[in-house]
Structure 1
Amino acid sequence: MSSQPKRVPMYVQLKNFILNQMKNGTWKPGDKLPSENELAEEFKVSRITVKNALADMVSQGIVYRIQGKGTFISDDSSESMMSFEPIKTDSSLIAFLMPRLNNCFTANLMTGIEKELADQGYNFVFRLTHESQELENKLLKELVTAGVSGIMVYPVDGETFNHEILKLTLNHYPLVIVDRYLRGLDTNCVYSDNYGGAYEATKHLTELGHASITFISTKISGTTSIEDRLRGYEQALIDAGQFIDYRLRLLDLGGGMPAVDQIQTYLRENPDVTAIVATNSTIGLQVMKAAQLLNLDVPRDLSIVCFDDYEQSNLYPVPLTYVDQNEMNIGKEAVKLIVSLIRDRSTEPRKLMLPNKLIVRQSTAINPRSDGSATAGVLLSEVRP
C-alpha cells in the first residue's frame, strides 16, 4: 500500500484558504469575496469547484450571497467557523455502499471486494442504502467527512443522476461505480457486459427455434444494466430475423401485484410464449414457480434463461441456464481501480467492462413448436449440470 500523503480535495483546500483569510483578519464580516472566476483563476480550478466550496460555506452560515452582487462574509461567521474542520484522511479505510445484500450475486460481489481489499492492505467500511438515493447521498457526505480514502458505490435501482457523485468526481475524489454506469456522468466504473450477456442468452434461445421470447425485468428506467440487457435482447432478435414485438416484454415486475401472480397472468394472456429472458435469478425462479402453477413443463413448454446463479442451484430439479457475470471478479477489479485512484488522483476516469459467460443447463431446450430447423445451441456454450 502506498505511504504517500492523501491529497485533500480542491474544494476543501479552497474553503480552508477562505477561512484562513478570515481568521487572520484579511477578510472581515461584510467584505465581498473575489468572484467565482477570480477564485477559479487563482487556484487553477474549475468554476464548479469554486461553486461547491462556496455552497458548503453558505450552508454553514459562513458566507451569504446576494443575487447579482456577489458573495459576502457573514456577520456571524466566527461562530460558524468554530465547527469547521478540514478533512483528515484515514489512509487504511475504503467504503462500499450497496442498496441490498440479499442474493448470491451481491454476496459474491461483496466477497470479491473484501478479499481484494485485504490483499491490498485496506480495511473495509460497508453501508446499506436500502434502495434510497437520499440515504445514499447522506452516507456519501458522512463517509467523506469521516475521511475514508475512497468510496465504491453500487447505485440504487433507477438512479439516473447523483449530484454528490458528480461533486466528488469533479474534485478527483477516489470513487468507483460498481455493477453499472450513470449515463452522462463521466466517472470511474466497473461492470459486466450486460448487452453482450443478454445478446448471447437470446441468441441461444433463437438457435433452439424459439420465436416468441419474452424479456422480463423490474422497472427498467434509469438502471443502465437493465437498459443494456434489453438492447442486447432486441439486437439478438433482429440478427435472428425476428421482429421486435413489444407485447413480448414485462418491464415492471412487482410494481403492482406479487411477481409470481403477475407472471402467471402474463403467460395466460400470451400462450404463444415459449421462452423467457429474465434479468436476474430471482425473476428466473419466479418464472419457474409461475410455470409450475400453470402446469407448464420447463423446458418442454417453456425455456428460461436468467442473469446470475442462485444458492444451491445444483439441488434444484431443473437448474436454470444463466449468464455468469463473475461478480467476484467485478468486486476485485473495482478495488484495484479505486486503489489506483487513491495513489494517483490525476488519472482520467475509466469505464471497465468485464466479459461474462452463458452457462447452459437444463432449463432450455429445442422448441417443440418449431419447424425442426433449430440447431442444438447447447453445443455453442459450456454446459453444466
Structure 2
Amino acid sequence: MIAKTFFGFEEILARELQQLGAQKVEPGVRMVSFIGDKGFMYKANIALRSALKILKPIHNFRAFDENSLYRGISAINWADYFSADQTFVIDATVHSEKFRHSEFVAQKCKDAIVDQFRNRAGRRPSIDKLHPDMRINVHIGNDYCSVALDTSGASLHHRGYRTATNIAPINEVLAAGMLLLSGWDGRSDFLDPMCGSGTILAEAAMIACNIPANINRKEFAFEKWNDWDNELFDTITSSLLKKVREFNYTIKGYDKAPSAVDKAKDNIRNANLDDYIDIYERNFFDTEKENKGPLHMVFNPPYGERLDIQLERFYREVGDTLKNSYPNTHAWFITANLEALKFVGLKPSRKIKLFNGGLEARFVKYEMYEGSKRTKFQERVGN
C-alpha cells in the first residue's frame, strides 16, 4: 500500500507506520510504501496523523500511448471491485512526455472501465465526482502506469471536528506533522499563542493522549467496498481506543480575536477535547509564561499573504516576547514569508523546509533558556 503525505513529512510518516506495525516501510517523495492486510488498512486510515491518503495498488503496466493505456486499464477485472450499479471517479496524476494532460488520461481510463462493464453486463456504472462508491487513482510516470484504489476518499485532513474556520486555517495534517517534527510528545505544558480556529491545539491534544487522528471522521471510502468488514473495523477502532493515555500537563491557546476564540472552542468541543484544552482571548505580545517548567510552543502566525499586518513590527514583537517573557521554552512556528524571519532578532536552532498550501515555508525552532545561552553552556561544562 501507499500512504501519501506532504513534502518533508516522509520520515515521520514512515515512523508512524512502523509504530503501528506496518511491514517493509519505505519512504519516497511525498509518500511512503508499506505492506499490511485489510485490518491494517483500516488502522492506517483511522490512526495516521501525517498521511493524506492511503492507496491500495491493484495493477501496473507500461503505457506508451492512449491505446496501450486503454488496454492496460481494460486488463483489470473491474467487477471484482464494484458493480455496474455503483458510481466511480478517476483521479489521474501525470508526469510524462507521452501524456501531458491528466484530464485526458482520466477520460481514457473511464472509457475503458465503462466499455468493459457495458460489454460484459449490458449496462455501465455512472460517474460521481463528489461522493463516488469507488475512487480510482491512476498515476503515470514516464511510461509506467500504476493503478490504485483510494481507500480514504476525501483527504485524511478532513478529521471531522472542524466546522468553524478563520482566514486561511492550517491543514490538520500539516498541523499534526509540524507537531511530530517538533518532537511534541505530551510530556510538558503546551501553548499555541495564535491559535485561530484551534487546529494545532486539537492535534496536540490527540498526540498527547494517543487519540486516533481520525476518530471523529464520518466515513472512509473503503466502507462502500464489496469486502467491507464492519465487525473488523469496530474491532480495530476499539483496540486503538484502548491505547488512549492520561495527560497530566496543560494545553492552552491564545488569540486576540473574540471570533477566533469562539470558533476554536466550538471545534475543540466537536473533537471531544475540551477537558484537555483551555482557550483564552489574549494578545500574545501582552502575555508571559505562567509556569516555571518547560513549555512547548507551536504556532502559525500570519504571513502577510493572509492578513494585513506590519510584518517587520509583528515579527520583531514575536522575537521580543519570546526573549523577554518565555524562558525555558521551545518555540516553533511556520512562515511562508522568509524575509520576515530576519526581523525576529533570534537565531533559530532548526529550520525545516515545508509547504503550506502552494507556498514554500520554513518551520523554525527557537530555544529560549532561563538565562543566556552562554550561561547554560557554562553550566554544562562546569558539570
User: What TM-score, normalized to structure 2?
Assistant: 0.28
Q: Which is richer in strand?
A: 2
User: What TM-score, normalized to structure 1?
Assistant: 0.28
**RCO comparison, higher one (Cα < 8 Å, 6+):** 1
Q: Which has the larger radius of gyration?
A: 1
